[in-house]
Amino acid sequence: MLTLATLGFAVNFWAWALLSPLAPKFKDALQLSPFQQALLVAVPVVVGSLGRIPVGALTDRFGGRLMFPIVSLSTIVPVLYLGLAGHTSLAGLLVGGFFLGIGGTTFAIGVPFVSAWFPPAKRGLAIGVFGMGMGGTAISALTTVKLVAAHGTPTPFIVTTIALAAYAALAALLLRDAPGRVAPTEALSRRLAATMRLRITWHASALYAVVFGGYVAFSVYLPAYLKTAYALTQADAANRMAGFVLLAVIMRPVGGWLSDRYEPSRVLSGALLVVGLGAAVQAFTPALTPLGTVAFLAMAAALGAGSGATFALVALLAPANKVGSVTGVVGAAGGLGGFVPPLLMGVLYGQFGSYAVGLALLAAVAAGALVLASTAVRKSSQFATGTLRGA
């Protein structure tokens, strides 16, 4: 079940990330401004993020066995539209990108689905392994530009459509919800209201907005950043972005595993410290070899580990019948955390001709999240694990 869920996450994230590697091509072909280019790659992110809130709550109610095939089949429509018609204009790309966001909601299906199959002591690692499905963005980075160059713009969209359809059929046949799963019966609005009153919802949302938001922001904007700041070719920039993504993907289960052994708050604190330092270094736009590469790879590792630790925290502190709802809200916060930076970077570069201010802001935000993780969140984790005196 973990393998099937991870595969579904990867395929849908592959579809979700199709526009990012092609953004430089669309910028040149359609004469887009830096802001329009940033908007193009950000729209699927915000829709996929906000959509996680209802999808997570629906997963609590109906289970992953039903939700995975439905979302996968729904994602086929915008993928085909973009490949066959929508890529010829900015309006078409924005409309297609809006509905492409559906693919990004699968994260809110997988976390409660996987969590229900594992005991608490192993959930951090299990959810971290599931989180490796975000490597679907690396598949997109490695294949999309090459497929377009070899066979034309529609090709990667058609290939992804086939993958989505195949996975939907596989999921419908083989997926099973965990035995003993109890579906909530109260109204969706009441469940969401109760979710929003939980402290873990707000703490995890703030942290995930930084760690996963940072990952998403870099995964969608890094090709444009590298091409502009370091004059790399489109293919070289896409390959380097894929390396960033792959390292983050590998480190996600490591973050979950470490959180099972230690407190998730400690893992998050270490990750946020590395992100802050890496962003501060990169704000000076050092030479890409070796310092810039080291800074980006360190941030990739930290963002991946921090993302895994955040949902180990959710599995530890969220009520069992609200894991999907909490995941939806937290996942939305993470996606929105990835929506704002590309737009901000585009605006700041257009204003100052430099990315330094944007990276300095990331360092400051990471420092603020570090304070939260090492104080209030650490205290909550200690109570939950029984390590705080009097718990």
Residue 186 has pLDDT above 90, yes or no: no
Give the SS3 label for residue 117: coil
Amino acid identity at 218: F
Contact 34, 355 (CB under 8 A): no
Is pLDDT of 388 > 70?
A: no
pLDDT at position 391 = 43
Burial class (CB in 10 A: 0-12, 13-18, 19+), 25: middle
How many residues are recorded in the chain?
391
Taking residue 170's Cβ as centre, other Cβ atoms within 10 Å add up to: 17
Domain layout of the chain by residue ranges: 2-174+187-385
Residue 79 main-chain phi, psi, to 5 deg: -65, -45
For residue 89, give every residue at least 6 positions away whose Cβ sits within 8 Å of its Cβ, in sequence order, or none.
Answer: 30
How far is the C-alpha of 252 from the C-alpha of 271, rounded, in Å? 11
Q: What's the CA gap between 317 and 35, in Å, rounded?
A: 39
Least confidently predicted of 28-37, 88-97, 102-111, 307-316: 28-37
Confidence class of residue 85 from pLDDT cuts 50, 70 and 90? confident
Query: Please, what's the b/e burial string for 279-298 (b: 16 or more CB within 10 A of its CB; e: otherwise)?
Result: bbbbbeeeebeeebeebbbb
What is the second-level CATH architecture of the domain 2-174+187-385? Up-down Bundle (1.20)
> What are the residue ranges of helices labelled H in 51-153?
52-62, 64-84, 90-100, 107-115, 120-131, 136-151
Q: Which residues have CB under 8 Å from 379's CB, separation 6+?
A: 388
Hey, what amino acid is at 365? V
The pLDDT of residue 230 is above 60: yes
With pLDDT > 70 as the criterion, what percentage of the chain qualifies?
97
Overall average pLDDT of the 205-221 stretch = 85
Which run of H or E residues covers position 339? helix 323-352
- Taking the C-alpha atoms of residue 273 and residue 269, their distance in angstroms, rounded to an integer, is 6
The Cα–Cα gap between 143 and 364 comes to 35
Q: What's the chain's average pLDDT?
A: 86
Ramachandran quadrant class, 242 (left: phi over 0; alpha: psi -120 to 50; beta: rest): alpha
Q: Could you identify the residue written with the tokens 């590697």?
A: 21
* Alpha-carbon distance values, 83 to 47, 155, 157 (Å): 19, 7, 5
**Higher pLDDT among residues 191 and 1, named by residue:** 1
